């Protein structure tokens, strides 16, 4: 007998108190070991229209709802007695007549009894003669086409008469694949065509069924699913995600998508799949910072729970920690990496000694870091031929001739001090491993790949073998905040024909995603001409509109933030599920005052207690990258703070200024899209011009 678990069960389990969860898990384990143990009492749900729904008693009041047939037992739901029975009475589990995927279908008549407003015209004042009634949103879609995307037969009429204002109320009652297809139609005017699936496939093996049901083959798998039921990504995958995870690629591959579409989820599952597929695999999962790498490691532990041998085949590290460790292995010592201040000082001193005064300190540091050091340029001839991608200011041959002695002298000073830069470390590791036949890793999976620089990408290419599935990248060009753009093809990394864009946003509500998307162009192109389109991305749930406050002074800003936090807490959002961010450290006091004003404890992201129960994480916008919260505050968005005035003052020309505005806007986008359900953006008058973009139609 197949033993299965539904996402509706894990969702319900996560809502129970810890003591009740423990009791439910014990009963679930007993049920898996013996589907008919004498200690568990089965009771048929007589009022359910599905004859296969049964109730199992956990204790005096808790009940597990199971769907039992001759061939399978499915954990479907859990709750207190009356709520558990009501859930089963309003649902049936069946294979869709057209797609063949098993669905949990709400019985329309029962929903109509509970929520009649879904099926009758809204009670609104009579429209003015010039304002026609709102037309049905899906009137042009035939019943046949609706069936093709998974709409249950008894919901066809409700969908065909739904208006735009009513659809978000209707969508949660539909199977996920149907709701997503209709959301895409509402957003783009196009109804997606489902991928064909063999008619002989088992209904539970259908890609759409696998997003909500999982066959559990061992107690370890069940333990993993129940220990972290809120981590749905670890158990259930969207078909588009699963397709990328399981696909074999003949060369470097990439998954893209806007914030919240599950790129990191794909990276985690792909790393685990590669490790499971080969007992000799050595998989690297890597990203731009060690805190984010640590977060990936924790998530990987959830995904590979009970699979110690699989987890042991996966190394998780940031690019810098990886380079540091491999440098030690190759050269027997740790590199002494120079902070930016000594590098800047060496450049300024060298410029003065060479009599070069026409370039700003910032320009010298940027040119050295992003061109000379990044590309490991060793001579004037090489400098003359090095691409300056992302460097807007043009330099002629004579200007480069004047600058080269400055860079060479600065390097000599750093060498005398025993210091190296990170690009130098990456370059040394690249040189040490590029010619080796035996590579340290069989597969490399990169998260936040949009922030890879030239030396980092070169190093990763040197650490992986040539061939299938060696390099896999996950990233979003719209979230690039650390590195200037450059051509990947110029370094031999060509992902054309092996690039996928995810379009379903699970993390961010429709309202927050729609507002944040206004900050960026609809299409972003990389240096190789590859496009990432943000159009057509959909969010699968609704929520309140972002709150944007243009405060008269900081006291008014704090009051608005305190009210926002209080409302979030009243709706059951925990303190640790709230994040408060500002552009730079000088504004952190404003975040701190807001959190303390709400009676909570602010903890900076660098503090070991950050993110723990009862504490609100605060930090700069850069810290927000890779995190997510149910409620987010982005504070102190004042004019001259966002975009940062210091960066604007240091701009050398109009083109440089454009790059600054672009990265500042993308940084703001990153912070806003950390929010799942609620977003507050504040500034003191005069506020940042970016707030106008959030509000434009």
Using DSSP, state whether 33 is helix, strand or coil.
helix
Determine what percent of the chain is predicted with pLDDT higher than 70: 94
Tell me if the domain spanning 544-695 has CATH number 3.10.180.10.
no
pLDDT reading at 332 higher than 50: yes
Sign of CA dihedral 474, 480, 481, 484: positive
Higher pLDDT, 221 or 160: 160
Summary mean pLDDT of the chain:
90
User: Which two tokens mark 228?
Assistant: 């972290």
Residue 141 and residue 160: Cα distance in Å, rounded?
Answer: 8
**What is the distance between the alpha carbons of residues 520 and 479, in angstroms, rounded to a whole number?**
10
Q: Has residue 626 got a pLDDT over 90?
A: no
Q: Taking Cα atoms as reference points, which of 347, 2, 361, 11 lies closest to residue 205?
A: 2
Q: Which of 119-133, 588-602, 603-617 has the lowest mean pLDDT?
A: 119-133
Q: What is the pLDDT of residue 37?
A: 67
> Which of 494-497's residues contact partners 24+ apart within 8 Å by CB, and which partners?
494/251, 494/252, 494/528, 495/251, 495/252, 495/253, 495/254, 495/530, 496/528, 496/530
Lowest mean pLDDT among 179-188, 276-285, 573-582: 179-188
Residue 634 has pLDDT above 70, yes or no: yes
Crossing angle of helices 454-463 and 422-434, rounded to 10°: 20
d(C-alpha 368, C-alpha 343), whole Å: 9
For 114, residues 6+ apart whose C-beta sits below 8 A from its C-beta are 90
pLDDT tens track for 49-88: 999 999 999 998 999 999 999 889 999 999 999 999 999 9
First CA to last CA across the chain, in angstroms?
Answer: 54
Q: Which residue has the higher pLDDT, 111 or 206?
A: 206
Please report which confidence band the pLDDT of residue 135 belongs to, taking 50, 70 and 90 as the band edges: confident
Contacts of 455 (CB under 8 A, 6+ apart): 373, 374, 375, 376, 422, 423, 426, 427, 430
- Does residue 242 register a pLDDT over 60? yes
Per-residue pLDDT at 569 = 95
* Of 523 and 589, the one with more pLDDT: 589
CA angle, residues 484, 490, 494, in degrees to nearest 5: 100
The CA–CA distances, whole Å, from 588 to 291, 578, 593, 617, 647 equal: 20, 15, 9, 11, 19
| CATH numeric code, 237-331+426-533 | 3.40.50.300
Is the bond preceding residue 632 a cis peptide, omega within 30 degrees?
Answer: no
Q: Select from 636, 638, 635, 639 the least CA-distant residue to 616.
A: 635
Query: What is the CB neighbour count within 10 angstroms for residue 640?
Result: 12
Of all residues in the chain, the percent with pLDDT exceeding 90 is: 66
Q: What is the pLDDT of residue 128?
A: 57
Is the predicted pLDDT of residue 490 greater than 80, yes or no?
yes
Q: What is the mean pLDDT of residues 660-676?
A: 92
pLDDT surpasses 50 at 181: yes
Lowest mean pLDDT among 53-67, 346-360, 387-401: 387-401
User: Is the separation of the CB atoms in 579 and 674 below 8 Å?
Assistant: yes
pLDDT value at position 120?
Answer: 64
Judge: domain 2-95+202-226, CATH 3.40.630.30.
no
Domain 2-95+202-226 matches domain 237-331+426-533 at the CATH topology level: no
pLDDT at 50: 94
| pLDDT single digits (tens) 193-235 | 888 888 778 899 999 999 999 999 888 888 888 887 777 888 8
Instruction: Provide the token pair at 358.
Output: 């026409």
250-264, 525-539, 678-692: lowest mean pLDDT where? 525-539
Task: Choose the weakest-confidence range: 125-139, 147-161, 301-315, 550-564.
Answer: 125-139
Q: Which long-range contacts (CB under 8 A, 24 or more apart) does 140-147 make?
A: 141/185, 141/191, 145/191, 146/178, 147/96, 147/97, 147/98
Confidence category of residue 41, pLDDT binned at 50, 70, 90? confident
User: What count of residues does the chain have?
Assistant: 697
pLDDT exceeds 70 at position 38: no
Residue 653 has pLDDT above 70, yes or no: no
Q: How confident is the model at residue 123 (pLDDT cuts 50, 70, 90)?
A: very low
The pLDDT value given to residue 393? 61
Return the pLDDT at 124: 47
Query: What element of type H or E holds 593?
Result: helix 588-597
**Domain ranges across the chain:** 2-95+202-226, 102-188, 237-331+426-533, 340-419, 544-695
Q: List pLDDT tens digits, range 280-321.
A: 999 999 999 998 999 899 999 989 988 999 999 999 999 999
pLDDT given at position 271: 98
């Amino acid at each position: 007998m197949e033993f299965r678990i539904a996402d509706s069960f894990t969702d319900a389990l996560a809502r129970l108190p810890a003591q009740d969860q423990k009791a439910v898990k014990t009963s679930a384990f007993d049920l898996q070991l013996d589907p008919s143990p004498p200690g568990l009492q089965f009771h048929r749900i007589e009022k359910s229209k599905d004859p296969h729904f049964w109730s199992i008693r956990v204790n005096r009041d808790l009940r597990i709802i199971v769907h039992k047939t001759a061939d399978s037992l499915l954990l479907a739901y859990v709750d207190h007695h009356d709520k558990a029975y009501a859930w089963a009475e309003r649902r049936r589990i069946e294979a869709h007549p057209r797609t063949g995927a098993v669905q949990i279908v709400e019985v329309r008549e029962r929903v109509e009894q509970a929520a009649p407003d879904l099926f009758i015209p809204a009670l609104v004042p009579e429209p003015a003669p010039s304002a026609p009634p709102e037309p049905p949103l899906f009137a042009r879609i035939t019943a046949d086409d609706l069936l093709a995307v998974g709409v249950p037969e008894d919901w066809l009429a409700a969908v065909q008469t739904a208006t735009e204002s009513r659809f978000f109320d209707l969508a949660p009652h539909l199977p996920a694949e149907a709701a997503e297809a209709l959301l895409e139609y509402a957003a783009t005017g196009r109804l997606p065509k489902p991928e064909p699936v063999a008619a002989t496939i088992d209904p539970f093996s259908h890609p759409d069924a696998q997003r909500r049901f999982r066959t559990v083959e061992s107690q370890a798998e069940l333990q993993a699913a129940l220990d972290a039921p809120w981590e749905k990504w670890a158990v259930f995958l969207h078909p588009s995600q699963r397709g990328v995870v399981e696909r074999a690629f003949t060369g470097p591959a990439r998954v893209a998508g806007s914030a919240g579409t599950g790129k990191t989820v794909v990276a985690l599952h792909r790393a685990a799949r590669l490790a499971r597929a080969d007992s000799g695999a050595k998989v690297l999962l890597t990203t731009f910072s060690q805190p984010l790498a640590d977060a990936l490691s924790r998530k990987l532990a959830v995904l590979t729970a009970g699979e110690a041998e699989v987890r042991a085949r996966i190394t998780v590290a940031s690019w810098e920690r990886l380079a540091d460790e491999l440098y030690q292995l190759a050269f027997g010592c740790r590199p002494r990496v120079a902070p930016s201040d000594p590098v800047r000082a060496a450049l300024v001193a060298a410029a003065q000694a060479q009599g070069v005064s026409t370039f700003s300190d910032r320009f010298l540091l940027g040119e050295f870091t992003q061109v000379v050091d990044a590309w490991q340029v060793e001579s004037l001839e090489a400098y003359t031929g090095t691409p300056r991608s992302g460097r807007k200011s043009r330099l002629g041959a004579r200007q480069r001739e004047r600058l080269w002695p400055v860079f060479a002298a600065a390097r000599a000073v750093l060498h005398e001090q025993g210091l190296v830069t990170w690009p130098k470390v990456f370059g040394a590791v690249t040189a040490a491993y590029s010619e080796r036949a035996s590579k340290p890793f069989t597969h490399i999976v990169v998260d936040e790949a949009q922030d890879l620089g030239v030396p980092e990408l070169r190093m990763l290419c040197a650490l992986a073998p040539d061939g299938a599935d060696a390099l896999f990248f996950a990233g979003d060009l719209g979230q690039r905040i650390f590195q200037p753009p450059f051509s990947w093809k110029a370094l031999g990394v060509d992902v054309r024909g092996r690039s996928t864009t995810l379009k379903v946003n699970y993390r961010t509500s429709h309202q927050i995603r729609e507002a944040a998307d206004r900050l960026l162009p609809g299409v972003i192109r990389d240096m190789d001409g590859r496009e990432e389109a943000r159009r057509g991305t959909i969010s699968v749930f609704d929520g309140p509109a972002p709150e944007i406050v243009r405060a008269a002074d900081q006291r008014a800003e704090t009051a608005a933030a305190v009210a926002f936090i209080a409302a979030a807490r009243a709706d059951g959002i925990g303190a640790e599920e709230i994040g408060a961010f500002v552009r730079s450290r000088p504004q952190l006091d404003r975040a701190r005052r807001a959190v303390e004003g709400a009676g909570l404890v602010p903890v900076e992201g660098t503090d070991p207690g950050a993110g723990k129960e009862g504490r609100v994480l605060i930090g700069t916008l850069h810290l927000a990258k890779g995190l997510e919260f149910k409620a987010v505050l982005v504070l102190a968005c004042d004019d001259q703070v966002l975009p940062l005035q210091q960066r604007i003052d240091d701009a050398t020309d109009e083109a440089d200024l454009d790059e600054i505005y672009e990265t500042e806007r993308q940084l703001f986008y990153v912070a806003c899209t950390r929010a799942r359900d609620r977003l507050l953006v504040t500034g003191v008058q005069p506020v940042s011009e970016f707030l106008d973009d959030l509000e434009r139609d």
